[in-house]
Amino acid sequence: MTVYLSFLLIVTGLTGIHNITTVSEVSVKAGDSITIPCLYESKYINHVKFLCKGYTWTSCSYAVKTNQPSSGKFLISDDKSQRIFTVTINDLTDEDTDYWCAVEIDEGSDVREYFHLSVTRGTPRLYVDHQEITGFKGEKITISCFHRNSGEMKWCRLGCSCMTESSGSIAETRVTITSKVDGFNVTMSNLTTENSGWYLCVSGDFQMPVHVTVTEKPTISTRNVTTLSPIPEHHTSVFTGGAPTAQGVHTIFIIRLSLLVFFVMVTSSIWFMVKRHKQTKESSTTSTAEEEVKYTRKTSEVAFRE
């Protein structure tokens, strides 16, 4: 009887095989996108992972699989080094509510874990500006978690412990939580590359996944950089916003006067060239006219004599 009951529970999907860790409740806005991380055990690294859509396990249907990583509005990717596969659901609608993160088992029942999306037309109950954030090794980052939800505030690393106090540490990195009117800020200090991974903003029953990437800070190459001579101290006020000195005012006056003289000289030169060209043209025209008159008179006189 016991064996039969266990078999019946497995078939109906009422038992859970919890070898996957993921979120349980996420508030999302219709039309947006959401990425959900699913952490699995090392023994499933080479297995096919998939997202199943439906309220009950027995009636859910494939949405996307790692051997076919794109299907309609669904995307899936598998980070085997972190043992996390992520599923992205785009263009969320009221029908995008019930899903399962799952791993295929060739001989036996697939392992899976259920999560629920609470789709709203207004502001989500818990959200972040960006699910992806990048920091540099040795520095710090701040994540803003906004919420309209009552309940205990937490900062968790997926699959690890959570922090609820105002200060503490996760993965040997100092973390501080600061409350604010519309949520809370999480600051992670003295980052290391080991801090890269998925974290969760938590408020009450809701979680929001956030992926942190820690990289080496890029160095600025000094190659082909021209070194400029320093500006003398007594000229500093000429180029900065400080109060100008008497010598600085004198320098500015000389510069402006020089520019004015240069402008007048250029303008005068242009005017003189234009005038000279006009006079030359008028003189040439007058000479031509006089020569034509002389030629006409001479021709008339010859004709009269003949």
Q: Which position has the token pair 């998939």?
A: 50
pTM to 2 decimals? Answer: 0.67
Which of 167, 182, 215 corresponds to the end of one domain?
215
Q: Are residues 140 and 191 located together in one domain of the fold?
A: yes
Residue 274 counted as domain residue = no
Residue 42 counted as domain residue = yes
Q: Are residues 105 and 158 located together in one domain of the fold?
A: no
Number of compact structural domains in the chain = 2
Q: Yes or no: say if 173 and 191 are a contact pair by the CB < 8 Å rule.
A: yes
| Residue 246, phi then psi, degrees to nearest 5 | -60, -40
Cα(186)–Cα(143) distance, rounded to whole angstroms? 5
Low-confidence ranges of the chain (pLDDT < 50): 1-17, 232-242, 293, 302-304, 306
Q: Are residues 74 and 147 located together in one domain of the fold?
A: no
Q: Which domain holds residue 154?
A: 126-215
Which of 215, 231, 253 corresponds to the end of one domain?
215
Other C-beta atoms lying within 10 Å of the C-beta of residue 72: 10
CA distances from 235 to 74, 254, 258 (A): 63, 14, 18
CA-only gyration radius of the chain, Å: 40
Q: Are residues 148 and 70 located together in one domain of the fold?
A: no
- Contacts of residue 145, defined as CB under 8 A and 6 or more positions apart, other chains included, come to 126, 127, 128, 153, 155, 183, 184, 185, 186, 201, 203, 208
Residue 227 counted as domain residue = no
> What pLDDT is stored for residue 248 in this prediction?
59
Q: Are residues 6 and 112 located together in one domain of the fold?
A: yes
* CATH number of the domain encompassing residue 54: 2.60.40.10
Residue 222 counted as domain residue = no
Which of 120, 146, 176 corresponds to the end of one domain?
120
Residue 273 counted as domain residue = no
Q: Are residues 110 and 207 located together in one domain of the fold?
A: no
Q: Are residues 116 and 32 located together in one domain of the fold?
A: yes
> What pLDDT is stored for residue 241 in this prediction?
47
State the SS3 of the chain: CHHHHHHHHHHHCCCCCCCEECCCEEEEECCCCEEEEEEECHHHCCCCEEEEECCCHHHCEEEEECCECEECCEEEEEECCCCEEEEEECCCCCCCCEEEEEECCCCCCCEEEEEEEEEECCCCCEEECCCEEEEECCCCEEEEEEECCCCCEEEEECCCCEECCCEEEECCEEEEEEEECCEEEEEECCCCHHHCEEEEEEECCEEEEEEEEEECCCCCCCCCCCCCCCCCHHHHHHHCCCCCCHHHHHHHHHHHHHHHHHHHHHHHHHHHHHHHHHHHHHHHHHHHHHHHHHHHHHHHHHHHHC
Q: Are residues 112 and 9 located together in one domain of the fold?
A: yes
> What pLDDT is stored for residue 294 in this prediction?
54
> What pLDDT is stored for residue 285 in this prediction?
56
> What pLDDT is stored for residue 279 in this prediction?
67
Cα(99)–Cα(54) distance, rounded to whole angstroms? 6
Q: Which amino acid is at 111?
A: V
Q: Are residues 104 and 145 located together in one domain of the fold?
A: no
Instruction: Return the closest-CA partner of residue 32 out of 89, 92, 74.
Output: 92
Q: Are residues 58 and 104 located together in one domain of the fold?
A: yes
Q: Yes or no: say if 208 and 126 are a contact pair by the CB < 8 Å rule.
A: yes
Residue 228 counted as domain residue = no
Residue 267 counted as domain residue = no
Residue 263 counted as domain residue = no
Cα(259)–Cα(253) distance, rounded to whole angstroms? 10
Q: Are residues 107 and 11 located together in one domain of the fold?
A: yes
> What pLDDT is stored for residue 120 in this prediction?
96
pLDDT tens by residue, 141-169: 999 999 987 778 999 999 988 988 888 88
Residue 151: left if φ>0, alpha if ψ -120 to 50, beta else—which one? left
Q: Are residues 112 and 163 located together in one domain of the fold?
A: no
- Return the half-sphere exposure (C-beta side, CA atoms, 13 A cut-off) of residue 168: 12
C-alpha torsion 100→102→106→109, nearest 10: -50
